[in-house]
Homo-oligomer: A and B are copies of this chain.
Amino acid sequence: MAQPEPAQGAKARSTIREVASAAGVSIATVSRVLNGRPDVAPATRDAVMRAVRDQGFTTNRTARALSGGRTGFVGVTLPLIEAAYFARILAGTAEALHEQDMRVVLTPTLHLHDRAVTLLDRLMHGTTDGAILMLPEETNEELKALRRLGYPFVVVDPREPLDEGIPAVSAANASGARAATQHLLSLGHRRIAAILGVAEWTASVERLLGFRAALASAGVLADPALVVESDFSIEEGEKAAAALLDLPEPPTAIFAFNDNMAIGALRAARARGLRLPEELSVVGFDDSEEAAIVTPALTTVRQPLAEMGRMAASLLLRLLENQTLEALNVELATRLVVRDSTAPPRP
């Protein structure tokens, strides 16, 4: 607001107008050069570029946004919980977007004050071009409504099965679970328990499908008593595992649907004096930082978190270009990581 005082080093931000007059052209031309439009004579382009460099000019993204209709911002919502997990996805997203000169703006999902007013689109209207919703709390209906508004977004790790037509990326939960189960089967386990996460979430459902499929194709009869529900936390995982281990005929292996619960299972086993992995095999899911660190190091299914983040970004970018997405629902391959928590059952 004050006079643009170009102190020793503190160059005041210059505008397109100043660049224009320095280069002896109009602001329209400067704008064209800045945006790489082809219809500018080489000589003019050079002159403008020189002026830009001299002044250390950078285009004001706010003004560009208002005028051009695109803000260059992508909103990302994520749950507060499981920070490490989502941080890894977020890193992928931020990186991919940054490469396209777009930025991530965070909108943590917390106080869900009156939905009516603060429907998540309001949060972003006018300030973001689109959004990436991680493990969104919104119902399918709400998401469909958002979509109907024409607001572009993609979901990562949908909580419930999404409607056709809503772009989503997730890990190949079913096949990952299948691989994990097959690993246990091939080691010789037959009494294999599963600790589900929140049972309604897609991830749980899919993993359970994979688990059952693997058992079935190995001709193993699944014991319903060996499938218990939990909530993805260490504590509850421990409780669930404890209950399983206290069964008259306990399982020889436990497949926990995430690493946290697997770590809980490890604890429960240790509390009962079981030797690991000889007396109990444990498999997790995620390949979190912790998986490699606990003892015994956890055999687990690796989710390509950063890739999921990047993929979400690239889907969104395509959406923004108004390209139609051939594949709306992307599943990224998982990979079994065998460590020390699994071994053949004792005879």
| A residues adjacent to B (C-beta < 8 A) | 1, 7, 9-10, 13, 56, 58-63, 65-66, 69, 71, 73, 80, 83-84, 86-88, 90-91, 94-95, 98, 103-108, 110, 122, 125-127, 145, 148-150, 234, 263, 270, 289-290, 293-295
Specify which chain B residues have a CB less than 8 angstroms from the CB of A62 in the assembled complex.
62, 65-66, 71, 126-127
Contact of B108 with A105 in the complex, beta carbons under 8 Å: no
Specify which chain B residues have a CB less than 8 angstroms from the CB of A294 in the assembled complex.
293-295
Distance (whole angstroms) from the CB of A3 to the closest CB of chain B: 14
Which residue on chain B has the smallest CB distance to residue A53? B117
Contact of A105 with B103 in the complex, beta carbons under 8 Å: yes
Of the residues B61, B73, B145, B150, contact of A126 by C-beta under 8 Å: B61
Specify which chain B residues have a CB less than 8 angstroms from the CB of A107 in the assembled complex.
98, 103
Which residue on chain B has the smallest CB distance to residue A99? B111
Of the residues B56, B69, B148, B289, contact of A289 by C-beta under 8 Å: B289
Cα A69 to Cα B127 with chains together (Å): 15
Give me 13 A-to-B residue pairs in the complex whose CB atoms sit less than 8 angstroms apart, sorted by A's number. Answer: A7-B148, A58-B125, A60-B125, A62-B62, A62-B71, A62-B127, A73-B105, A83-B88, A95-B110, A98-B108, A293-B293, A293-B294, A294-B295
Cα A213 to Cα B71 with chains together (Å): 53
Cα A270 to Cα B194 with chains together (Å): 31
Distance (whole angstroms) from the CB of A288 to the closest CB of chain B: 9
Cα A103 to Cα B77 with chains together (Å): 12
Of the residues B69, B91, B290, contact of A80 by C-beta under 8 Å: B91
Distance (whole angstroms) from the CB of A242 to the closest CB of chain B: 17
Specify which chain B residues have a CB less than 8 angstroms from the CB of A7 in the assembled complex.
148
Distance (whole angstroms) from the CB of A225 to the closest CB of chain B: 29
Cα A108 to Cα B126 with chains together (Å): 24
